[in-house]
Amino acid sequence: MCEGKNQSPINLTGFIEAELEPIAFDYQEGGQEILNNGHTVQVNYASGSSIKVDGTSFELKQLHFHAPSENHIEGKSYPLEAHLVHASDEGDLAVVAVMFEEGGANEGLEQAWSSMPEQAGEEKTLQSSLSADDILPSDRDYYRFNGSLTTPPCTQGVRWLVMKQPVTASKEQIEHFADVLHEPNNRPLQPVNARPVLQ
């Protein structure tokens, strides 16, 4: 089902220096619904949270997780990766990716995992509303490339914005997610082809 030369994920390497505008984050506490769709655990967002990229506003629709990470950075895989999926009014997509390293417990994850749905198809309400700010790194520098969604139909034309700075999650938090899914849920790396990766 997945065709095209700009597929995701990729190994981000061979960076091209560029004047990347800072992403304008405007996140509210809108994440109240958490669900296990059998492929990932996802937090859905009410309207009101957005980013601005290329002069266009993209509304945060949902965030979900992959273990191990789908994208690699200079050959390095991470134990967990979050994807914050946004859409513009025109239907264009932008995904902010955050890498997790094993370390101290992550407060944002703690909030989400406390209501983790254990069974596929199960949906729960979070005890307290989650702001996506809670899982972003303090340093918002990023890599950028054009890619696709990583699940079928793998729609291309997605702006990928990968945070350079990883955040930490505890070993227990990472294992809890992996245990609930029972198997890795990362798509294999795809060929970069002629795409530039900007930094």
Give the max Cα distance, the chain.
45
Query: Does residue 39 carry a catalytic annotation?
Result: yes
- Start-to-end CA distance of the chain, whole Å, equals 31
Q: What is the DSSP string of 130-176?
A: EEGGGGS-S---EEEEEEE-SSTT--EEEEEEEESS-EEE-HHHHHH
For residues 31 and 130, is the Cβ–Cβ distance under 8 A? yes
Neighbours of 121 (CB within 10 A): 9
Considering 39, 66, 72, 83, which one is annotated as catalytic? 39
The number of CA neighbours under 13 Å toward the Cβ of 131 is 9
* Active site amino acids: 39
